[in-house]
Amino acid sequence: MYGFEMLSYNIKDGFLEAVVRGHRSGLLSVGDYNNLSQCETLEDIKLNLTSSDYGSYLANEASPIYTATIVEKCTQKMVNDWNYMRTQADENLAQFMDYCTYGHMIDNVVLIVTGTLHERDVQQCLRALTSVAGDCAGGRRAGGVSEGERRVAAIQRATRSSGAVVAELQVLFEGRMWMEPLVSDCLSVMGERLVEVVAALKQEGQAQAGQPGGDLTALPLELLARLAKALCLLPTQLGYGESAMLDKLLYEEEVKKCVDCYEQQFHYAVFYAYMKLREQEIRNIMWVSECVAQDQKGRIVDGIVYLF
């Protein structure tokens, strides 16, 4: 974002950019992960997290505590932060934040359809949903039935009546249906640093190789060149040990790009970067918790992707 756009940016979006940059200071540091790695039980992990931003969400949880509970409360923290910023945003920023959650919405719909095909009830489907996509996993209750339950039931009825197939739904949702409006409507008002974020969004939802609806030819030539360069470096980075995992390398690359988004001002990329960094932090906490619960503390360092 250049020129006179910088002069007017703070009028509408300056407060929320300050908020999302302030959230960065609440992300766990290397020292915090080192402390978590020394925990012997999940209760110790809960105790260590009480001094972080997750403290108020975990403080009232009774013993014994489980990994699923820790992950749920950490996710609720991210959802509350995101919803607060979304309600304060103006039209352009709110639209961009909605686009950022569409990937989770797609996953929720696919999970509901998959659960329906496997004869799972509404409550089982609700527990599997990602609440960052909206209030489908919660909602106020009316007459004993929540809004989320009504939505899940409606999707299940449509699935049973039409015989929908999960792969066909993925092709429908992950196509250009929502990616094209994101590129055309948002790039003109969001600054140069968002170009890589948009490319990442397109790669996630439209052009994932080997997944339904994926098409590598839809990727820009520049992105294909970066992808080819990264793939050439993978053999030297992976090595031969079990600890060097492909998914960890990809997560590390994503974290680097998200951290870079914080180096400039007056753009919307920091909101997308914050969501991705929080998601990675929750994955780290889940990994540490599972390793502690299964008495595999020696493998904790294998799955942690440090943010800063």
8 located within any domain: no
9 located within any domain: no
* Contact assessment for residue 251 and residue 280, using Cβ atoms and an 8 Å cutoff: yes
Within its chain, how far is the Cα of 111 from the centroid? 16
Residues 6+ apart with CB under 8 A from 193: 260, 261, 264, 267, 269
30 located within any domain: yes
- How many residues are there in the chain? 308
7 located within any domain: no
* Contact assessment for residue 105 and residue 133, using Cβ atoms and an 8 Å cutoff: yes
**Res. 58: pLDDT tops 50:** yes
**Distance from C-alpha of 20 to C-alpha of 42, rounded to nearest angstrom:** 29
Residues of the chain with pLDDT > 70: what percent? 58
User: Domain range holding 62?
Assistant: 19-303
**pTM value?**
0.75
13 located within any domain: no
* Contact assessment for residue 268 and residue 30, using Cβ atoms and an 8 Å cutoff: no
Average pLDDT over residues 233-244: 51
**Distance from C-alpha of 183 to C-alpha of 185, rounded to nearest angstrom:** 6
- Which of 48-62, 107-121, 209-223 has the weakest average pLDDT? 209-223
59 located within any domain: yes
5 located within any domain: no
Structurally, the chain folds into a number of domains equal to: 1
Q: How confident is the model at residue 104 (pLDDT cuts 50, 70, 90)?
A: confident
**Res. 276: pLDDT tops 90:** yes
**Cis status, amide bond into 220, omega within 30 of 0:** no
Q: How confident is the model at residue 216 (pLDDT cuts 50, 70, 90)?
A: very low
Strand partners, 146: 141
264 located within any domain: yes
